[in-house]
Amino acid sequence: MADDKVDHIELGNTPRPSTGGEDKAAQVLKESGHSVTLTHENNKKVLRKIDTCILPVILAIYFLQALDKATLAYASVFGLVEDTNLVGQQYSWLGAIVYVAQLVAQPAIAYFLVKFPLGKFMAATTLLWGISLTCMTAAHNFSGLLVSRLFLGIFEAGVAPAFIALTQMWWRRREQPVRLGAWYAMNGVTNMVGSLLTYGIGHIPPSTLKSYQIIFLFFGLITIAYSAVVFFFLPDNPMTAKFLKGDDRLVAVERLRDNQQGVENNVWKWNHVKEAMLDFKTWGWGAMMFSISVPSGGVSTFGPLIISSFGYDQFSTILFNIPFGAVQLIATMGGAWVATKLKMKSPVLAFLSLPPIAGCIMLLFLPRSANAKAPLLVAYYLISVYPGITPLIYSWSAGNTAGETKKKVTTGILFVFQCAGNVLGPNLYTTDEAPLYRRGLLSNLALFVVLIALYAAQVFYLMILNKKHANRRVAMGKQANIRDRSMLTVKEGYGTQEEERNVEEPEENSWEDKTDFENENFVYVF
């Protein structure tokens, strides 16, 4: 009987009158005319539907996006550099220009993500970047490739920010690390599947199209075709999702109440913009994104060339890139799973930063000889743990930011830092420095060390913010401690009266589109 009490709790609080800036979830709950009871059973049922209907569409989009960007690295193995007469920093700039375009596009993207339906936005961008990649087939020199990559970057600019918004819109804070990690783990799947597909394409007998042109055409057309799937199967929000019937839509909304972050609001609020810009933690996460993106940009662009420098031919190089993807996948999903279990991300981030440090040191000091091929590959695979870091930083930021406009602006700022790092990263490696790539590896090593210091500083600041909110609650006549149910399962989140005797229930602020600073009930997570 005690378990039944734990599993059932009435959450259908009557929403306050709309103020014009209210979250759309409040409008839906008011228009429904009745409340719902969130239980362990109906929460599990709706979560399963969301994971089944939303997550696969997102995973495929990110897989194609990662694959389309990686085509440049695959093409480099099959003679792109030589056939298009790339010299000096030109190949590096082909890798970097995507991120220059994404960086410049971020202010517009942040605005679009507030004003436009997310599902339709993603369908349009998927179609347009697929067209851009397909056009690379016709590029025969540096300028043609550069223009194609520029448009590829512009149309891919909204993918990661939109996915952060989708993750906040569909999943509880406790559920977000694994789901966010899942779509980011597609980078690892891309390295495995993309390497195998490229290996097969590379064996196609010579024709009017060269191997690297076939790579661009093949993956571009697949992306164009998939944009239709996105249009028809990715809903704009939980309130309009066709796969949710009856009260399931209300349950999907109620699941997000404890996040204290809202679901969707199309009102652009300049005070949110100002707060995001003046928020120290925004820049802390931005610094982290820059620090991880410099090595990410360099290794993702030059990874196959680094393996090739160990003394392998083009087909062996492609095959040896497959374990790199497997390590990425394990690190990303493993890190997200551990962070969910610990209910903390900072310790996991610190741990994930250690293997890349070891890998950089090994590559810097191991000799380039036939006898050293195996340890060199091990070093390269140790570095490949780094992709597990980026989604956890995004998840950490997403879980600690509230207010619709502030969420979008904060994500945009982080992505600007990520793009800046990805622009710099490939330019720290040059084909002239092969096979040692000493400048790139030294800079990567330094930044992995810097990351650990940034994690510690951010945790300290979040502790200060939690203390300030607790003092504010006391000043308002409330208890200092409140229960943060968003990091718990539904079954864990509601204890007996004895367990909750000294824990206050937060009042209803969930659908008022308050920022995390404005909402005294917001609890920051480490």
pLDDT, tens digit, 9 for 90 and up, residues 285-315: 999 999 999 998 788 767 777 888 888 887 7
Q: How far apart are CA 275 and CA 515, in angstroms?
A: 8
Q: State the Cα angle at 103 between 117 and 415, rounded to 5°.
A: 65
pLDDT, tens digit, 9 for 90 and up, residues 415-459: 899 988 988 887 888 777 878 889 999 999 999 999 999 999 999
pLDDT, tens digit, 9 for 90 and up, residues 419-429: 889 888 878 88
State yes or no: pLDDT of 7 exceeds 60.
Answer: no
* Percentage of the chain lying above the pLDDT 90 cut: 46
Q: What is the mean pLDDT of residues 90-119?
A: 89
Contacts of 64 (CB under 8 A, 6+ apart): 126, 130, 219, 222, 223, 226
* Residue indicated by tokens 């997000």: 256
Output the average pLDDT for the chain: 85
pLDDT, tens digit, 9 for 90 and up, residues 246-292: 889 888 888 888 777 666 777 889 999 999 999 999 999 999 999 99
Q: How far apart are CA 429 and CA 525, in angstroms?
A: 37
pLDDT, tens digit, 9 for 90 and up, residues 375-384: 999 999 999 9
Q: How far apart are CA 480 and CA 459, in angstroms?
A: 20
Per-residue pLDDT band at 178 (split at 50, 70, 90): very high
Per-residue pLDDT band at 499 (split at 50, 70, 90): very low
Half-sphere exposure of 251 (CA within 13 A, CB side): 22
Q: How far apart are CA 50 and CA 42, in angstroms?
A: 12
Per-residue pLDDT band at 509 (split at 50, 70, 90): low
**pLDDT value of residue 95:** 80
Contacts of 281 (CB under 8 A, 6+ apart): 397, 400, 458, 461, 462, 465
Q: Which long-range contacts (CB under 8 A, 24 or more apart) does 203-209 make?
A: 209/137
**pLDDT value of residue 481:** 84
Domain ranges of the chain: 44-466
Q: How far apart are CA 53 and CA 342, in angstroms?
A: 28
Half-sphere exposure of 224 (CA within 13 A, CB side): 12
Q: Which CATH number does the domain 44-466 belong to among 2.60.40.10, 1.20.1250.20, 3.90.1260.10, 3.40.50.150?
A: 1.20.1250.20
pTM: 0.79
Backbone φ, ψ for residue 108 (5° rounding): -65, -40
* Residue indicated by tokens 């000294």: 502
* Residue indicated by tokens 């909750």: 500
CA 242 to chain centre: 26
Which of 369-383, 462-476, 485-499, 509-523 comes out lowest in average pLDDT?
485-499
* Percentage of the chain lying above the pLDDT 70 cut: 89
Q: Of 74-78, 157-161, 354-358, where does the model show the most confidence?
A: 354-358
Contacts of 203 (CB under 8 A, 6+ apart): none
Selection from 265, 341, 357 nearest residue 27 by Cα: 265
Which stretches of 89-175 are DSSP H helices?
A: 90-115, 118-135, 142-156, 159-170
Q: How far apart are CA 219 and CA 236, in angstroms?
A: 26
Element (H, E) at 379: helix 373-383
